[in-house]
Amino acid sequence: MTAIKKIDMPPTDKPMRADARRNRELLLAAAVELFNAGDDVSLEGVARRAGVGIGTLYRHFPTRDDLVEAAYRNEVAQLQDAAGELLATRPPDEALAEWMHRYIDYAATKNGMRDALQSVVASNSGLFVETRKRMIASIGALLAAGVAAGTMRADVEAEDVMFATGGIWQIAADERWRERAERVIDLIVSGVRA
């Protein structure tokens, strides 16, 4: 399996030009970076950080909600793709551990996007249902590989791991958040190993 950074793209009738794809990727990366910083993210600020004009941003994302949703979907897609990439290069238990630590990065992004996501959720209630299914599929692939290799318990289901990761959402968002989240993830991974 080749490690290619996949950007969740909207369905279109024609392929996107290389420069347009690059601009879209720059915009999504800039948006995530600004959300993670906890800044009040304006569309102008995202365009400026991406090094493109505001017109380019609006061609890709006509509204702020469109940008927020695309950035969130992109983060989920990258996390989902990471499961296969990690399984191709590491033993399953190590792949799960690394994937779970990347999940912390995803959680940090989602925490940074919390306020912005509220309006998207109000208009698209299926967003979190869809992304949750993708997460469970990734965890399921990692667990199945671990069971097949004999390094993970066969009695653990992907939903069990997903529920257990819910603990990191309860951690106070302070300077020790990442340290505490990593400890929770390490406990989960230790509990899954055979």
Q: Are 51 and 109 in contact (CB under 8 A)?
A: no
Hey, what are 58's tokens? 């609006």
* pLDDT tens figures, 48-78: 999 999 999 999 999 888 898 898 888 889 9
- The better pLDDT of the pair 37, 39 is held by 37
Residue labelled with tokens 């400890």? 183
Instruction: Return the pLDDT at 33.
Output: 87
When comparing pLDDT for 172 and 124, which is higher? 172
pTM: 0.79
Which of 13-17, 111-115, 165-169 is the least confident region? Answer: 111-115
Mention every residue, 6+ apart, whose C-beta is less than 8 A from residue 89: 95
Give the integer Cα–Cα distance in Å for 188 and 158: 12
9 versus 177: the higher-pLDDT residue is 177
pLDDT exceeds 70 at position 102: yes
Q: How far apart are CA 139 and CA 160, in angstroms?
A: 10
pLDDT at 2: 36
Q: What is the pLDDT of residue 129?
A: 84
* Mean pLDDT (whole number) for 88-98: 96
- For 134-184, the pLDDT digits (tens) are 999 999 999 999 999 999 999 999 999 999 998 888 888 788 988 999 999
pLDDT above 60 for 28: yes
What's the token pair of residue 12? 């279109």
What's the rounded Cα separation, in Å, for the pair 73 and 70? Answer: 5
122: its two tokens = 């109000």
Per-residue pLDDT at 85? 96
Instruction: Compute the average pLDDT of residues 109-138.
Output: 76
For 1-14, what is the mean pLDDT? Answer: 48
Reduce the DSSP state of residue 37 to 3 states and report it.
Answer: coil
